[in-house]
Amino acid sequence: MATQKKRNKSRTRPALKKSARKVVKLSSARKAASKKASNGNGLPKPSTKPYGQAGLALQGVRVLDFTHVQSGPTCTQLLAYMGADVIKVERPGGGDITRGQLRDVPNADSLYFTMLNGSKRSITIDSKHPKGMEILNRLIKTCDVLVENFAPGALDRMGLTWEYVHKTNPRMIVASVKGFGPGPYEDCKVYENVAQCAGGAASTTGFREGPPLVTGAQIGDSGTGLHLALGIVSALYQRIRTGRGQKVLCAMQDGVLNLARVKLRDQQRLAHGPLTEYSQYGEGVPFGKAVPRAGNDSGGGQPGWIVKCKGWESDPDAYLYFITQAPVWEAICDVIGEPTWKTDPDFATPKARLPRLKQIFARIEQFTMTMTKFEAMNLFNEHDIPCGPILSMKEIAEEQSLRATGTVVEVDHPTRGKYLTVGNPIKLSDSPADVRRSPLLGEHTDEILKDVLGFKAAEIAEIKASGAISAPEKKEKAA
Ligand code: CAO
């Protein structure tokens, strides 16, 4: 890329008279240094440090984190895990509303908060206080990315419009989560389940006979936070070339639809006939105009279903997801004790099996009910048959292999003690995840004012006296 640019430049540069050309001579020492630093392609030479010891991927990126609840914090926590310095701005007094929501330990930050705000620093600033705005202005000048997920218009009402932020720091990337993109609903506040419903997930989840269902996975909030993180990293990459920031917008409806894209695929297939891999096809139930709920049918081309295992009567999670993958059909027949199905024309081909899936899964279930889900998992895997146990959250919390990979991490917190959090699900071989506990409210206020913003002790005292970083003292009630 750099070489191409260089070539274009030399082609378009007007010819200068030889005498007018300014020849800048590099001293031999500088020449050697620049040769050492670069590979000749504009990139630094490959580090010789051992993997994992060359700093973290986003080291040097500073994030002004105006996020709250779940969607935005998911994004900024990931950036922090990747090494960014994430400065979470919170309202003095209460901070992020989730600190106090779904509390399990009295007077300690909730798990809702702690599991979404690890590895960040917290500063309290009242953005509606003139002194608070002064601090924010300094932060805007020093940060690379501003991330927010306020209700539509809230950032503008603070005075932090895109135009203002861009003028103050043209390199700033301003990233937002909103419920909806531009259109009829753009001014609406949105929570997780609203997004799941508006993005097409709820109408396609659940059983045909039942109402639409939302899923436990937070595809609206955390899913959109993930999308936003990718947008930010892309904008940071583009900024290397352009030198300027840009707006990044992820609407939760769009994020959910992106994750539900197979259902929009099926919507279009409906125009060409029934969806033969859906159980309702085998059951002879006609399709309507829109994609129906498909129960536990697989969303892909290999039919699957959830089958009972030993203990299902008392254990709500004694189940296995079983996939009748075509290439291992013969092995499936042998293992479940139906060897004649290998050649029986009613079962031998994927097409022949489609109208009989209910019967096939009933037979598989008869077999799996004789063993635990883990025994079944082991047995089928010996034959390369894809399947998976339905794991409870208790089992996941106790799973040692997830601890070993850092996907589940135990951290210690000064007021709540040890808790489990989800570490970085994205593993980079040269950037080990930096998973630390969440900050207390305003824990890093002084340190940020001093070290990041360069305020002197007297100025910090003045800021404190102004009330811009602390909640107004509660007046004692008269006796
Ligand atoms: N100092 C002073 N005021 C502050 C502040 C600070 N540090 N931080 C926030 N505020 C103010 C905002 O300025 C805003 O004030 P105004 O409305 O007077 O301008 C106010 O706090 C509340 O912000 P909000 O409207 O975003 O919060 P809410 O609780 O009413 O709504 C939510 C929450 C999530 C519905 C809304 O923020 C939203 O729709 N966000 C976008 C979509 C989203 O991310 N949803 C996912 C949420 S997780 O399920």
Relative to the CA of 191, which ligand 1 atom is closest?
49
pLDDT digits (tens, 9 = 90+) for 351-364: 999 999 999 999 99
pLDDT > 80? residue 14? no
Q: What is residue 300's predicted lDDT score, i.e. its pLDDT?
A: 84
Give the pLDDT of residue 471. Answer: 82
Give residue-wise pLDDT tens across range 50-78: 999 999 999 999 999 999 999 999 999 99
CA of 326 to the centre of ligand 1 (A): 50
**pLDDT, position 474:** 60
pLDDT > 90? residue 24: no
Q: Which helix (H) or strand (E) holds 123?
A: strand 121-124
pLDDT in tens, 28-53: 545 555 555 666 777 899 999 999 99
pLDDT tens-digit map of 226-277: 999 999 999 999 999 999 999 999 999 999 999 999 999 999 999 999 999 9
User: Does residue 13 carry a pLDDT above 70?
Assistant: no
Q: What is the pLDDT of residues 113-167, one digit of tens each?
A: 999 999 999 999 999 999 999 999 999 999 999 999 999 999 999 999 999 999 9
Q: Name the residue at shortest CA distance from atom 28 of ligand 1.
A: 151
Query: Which residues surround ligand 1 with Cβ inside 6 Å?
Result: 69-72, 89-91, 125-128, 149-151, 154, 157-158, 177-179, 189-192, 221
Among protein residues, the one whose CA lies closest to atom 25 of ligand 1: 151
pLDDT tier at 408 (50, 70, 90 boundaries)? very high
Residue nearest atom 3 of ligand 1, based on CA coordinates:
127
CA of 149 to the centre of ligand 1 (A): 7
Residue-wise pLDDT tens digits, 288-326? 999 999 999 988 889 999 999 999 999 999 999 999 999
For residue 467, what are the contacts with CB-CB under 8 A and spacing of at least 6? 126, 129, 131
Quickly state the pLDDT bin for 479 (edges 50, 70, 90).
very low
Closest listed residue to residue 222, CA positions, set 76, 389, 404: 76
Predicted confidence at residue 20, as pLDDT, reads: 38
Among 2-6, 233-237, 354-358, 368-372, the minimum mean pLDDT is found in 2-6
What is the pLDDT, as a whole number, of residue 31?
53
- Answer whether residue 169 shows pLDDT above 70: yes
Residue 37's pLDDT is: 61
State in Å: Cα 54 to ligand 1 middle. 38
Q: How do beta strands 85-90 and 121-124 pair? A: parallel
Protein residue closest via CA to atom 36 of ligand 1:
151
Q: 88 Cβ partners below 8 Å, 6+ apart?
A: 65, 67, 76, 96, 117, 120, 121, 122, 123, 439
What distance in angstroms lies between residue 340's CA and the mean position of ligand 1's atoms?
63
CB 135 within 8 Å of CB 125: yes
Choose one of 150, 214, 221, 445 to mutate for the ligand 1 pocket test, by most ligand atoms within 8 angstroms of C-beta: 150
The pick from 189, 227, 469 for probing ligand 1's pocket by mutation, whose C-beta has the most ligand atoms within 8 angstroms, reads 189
Q: Kindly report whether the global pTM for this prediction surpasses the value 0.85.
A: yes
Instruction: Give tens-digit pLDDT for 178-197.
Output: 999 999 999 999 999 999 99
Supply the residue whose CA is at minimum distance from atom 35 of ligand 1. 189
Taking CA atoms only, the protein residue closest to ligand 1 atom 16 is 154
pLDDT of residue 2: 34
- Helix (H), strand (E), coil (C) string for 127-179: CCCHHHHHHHHHHHHHCCEEEECCCCCHHHHCCCCHHHHHHHCCCCEEEEEEC
Closest Cα to atom 17 of ligand 1 = 154
Helix (H, G, I), strand (E, B) or coil at 239: helix
Please give the distance, rounded to the nearest whole angstrom, from the Cα atom of residue 99 to the centre of ligand 1: 15
pLDDT mean across residues, the chain: 92
CA 424 to ligand 1 centroid distance, Å:
26
> Which ligand 1 atom sits closest to the C-alpha of 190?
39
Tens of pLDDT, residue by residue over 435-470, are: 999 999 999 999 999 999 999 999 999 999 999 999
Q: What are the Cα distances from residue 97, in Å, to 11, 82, 92, 110, 424?
A: 57, 25, 11, 10, 24
Centroid of ligand 1 to alpha carbon of 68 (angstroms) = 7
The CA angle 304-308-311, to the nearest 5 degrees, is 155
Nearest CA to ligand 1 atom 26: 150
Please report the pLDDT score of residue 258 as a whole number.
Answer: 98
Question: Per mean pLDDT, which range of 1-10, 102-111, 206-215 is the poorest?
Answer: 1-10
List, by residue number, the catalytic residues: 221
CB 113 within 8 A of CB 140: no
pLDDT at 12 over 80: no
Q: pLDDT tier at 16 (50, 70, 90 boundaries)?
A: very low
CA of 154 to the centre of ligand 1 (A): 7
